[in-house]
Amino acid sequence: MIDIHSHILPGIDDGAKTIQDSVDMANQAVSEGIHTIMATPHHMNGSYQNQKSDILPLVDLLNERFKFEGINLKVLPGQECRIYGEILEDYKKGFVFPLNQVSQYIFIEFPSGSVPRYAERLLYDIQVEGLTPVIVHPERNAELIERPDKLYKLVKNGAVTQLTASSLVGYFGKNIQKFSQQLIEANLTHFIASDAHNIHNRTFKMEEAMDNIKKKYGIDMVYYFTENAEMLVDGKTIYKEIPELIKKKKFLGLF
């Protein structure tokens, strides 16, 4: 399978620190059945700036190294862009680039606690430019957990989303796990990816997540996610179902 979100490039963000870390991550990825991985280092998240010219040479470096080591893992270039006002200007300058370069998809990360007021407008403008914004890990955003209707609106208006495998299997706690399931059930998410940072506490969990999806939703849902990842890297139009509103359950008997 293809993992479209990872921090496997060495020494440029809070993921792999050294090439050996990248090799360790690659071996773990392969053991979970991943044959292609997109390297999506952080960009403009307050700590790291990684523009296209920083990313491409490291992708080449890893591909050569994995080949040398006999590791069957292909690395594709990507970028995890924190939302900021000048994304489109930077896209036109070539600092921000579409996933795998050839696609029309671009990762957009919100701050973990909130959704900026200008997000709706910016996601619209991104689409006017011919790009499709992929909101990464909406299940870990505090505002979206409280206000899932906001995510519904963004998806209804054309954004797509990527759920993190470890969220779905409970690594980030029960609330985030529950919300992850609700996102799948309401057709509010289109991709599952690892967002792996290392082989210790932020690992892949892709195999476990897919097993979980197969048991809970059936094999067709596994195909939906795996095929969408393939179509994304090929720059094709992905499968979507009509999104639904998640109704927040009221605590009965509280009043």
Instruction: Provide, rounded to whole angstroms, the least separation between the CB of residue 186 and Fe ion.
Output: 23
Whose Cβ is closer to Fe ion: residue 36's or residue 166's? 166
How far is 196 from 207, CA to CA, in rounded Å? Answer: 13
Contact between 195 and Fe ion by CB under 5 A: the answer reads: yes
Give DSSP secondary structure letters for 108-138.
Answer: EE--TT---TTHHHHHHHHHHTT-EEEEE-G
Query: Near Fe ion by CB under 5 A, which window of 123-131, 171-179, 184-192, 194-202?
Result: 194-202
Contact between 3 and Fe ion by CB under 5 A: the answer reads: no
How far is 11 from 54, CA to CA, in rounded Å? Answer: 11
Instruction: Provide, rounded to whole angstroms, the least separation between the CB of residue 191 and Fe ion.
Output: 13
Query: Near Fe ion by CB under 5 A, which window of 85-93, 172-180, 195-203, 227-235?
Result: 195-203
Residue that is written with structure tokens 């990527």 in the block = 162
Instruction: Provide, rounded to whole angstroms, the least separation between the CB of residue 220 and Fe ion.
Output: 27
- The binding track of 167-186 with respect to Fe ion, each residue x by CB under 5 A or -, is --------------------
How far is 103 from 81, CA to CA, in rounded Å? Answer: 15
Whose Cβ is closer to Fe ion: residue 166's or residue 226's? 166
Compute the half-sphere exposure of residue 223: CA atoms within 13 Å on the CB side of its CA: 3
Residues in 26-85 at the binding interface with Fe ion, rule: CB under 5 A: 80
How far is 208 from 141, CA to CA, in rounded Å? Answer: 22
Residue 76: strand pairing partners? 38
Binding site for Fe ion (CB under 5 A): 80, 195
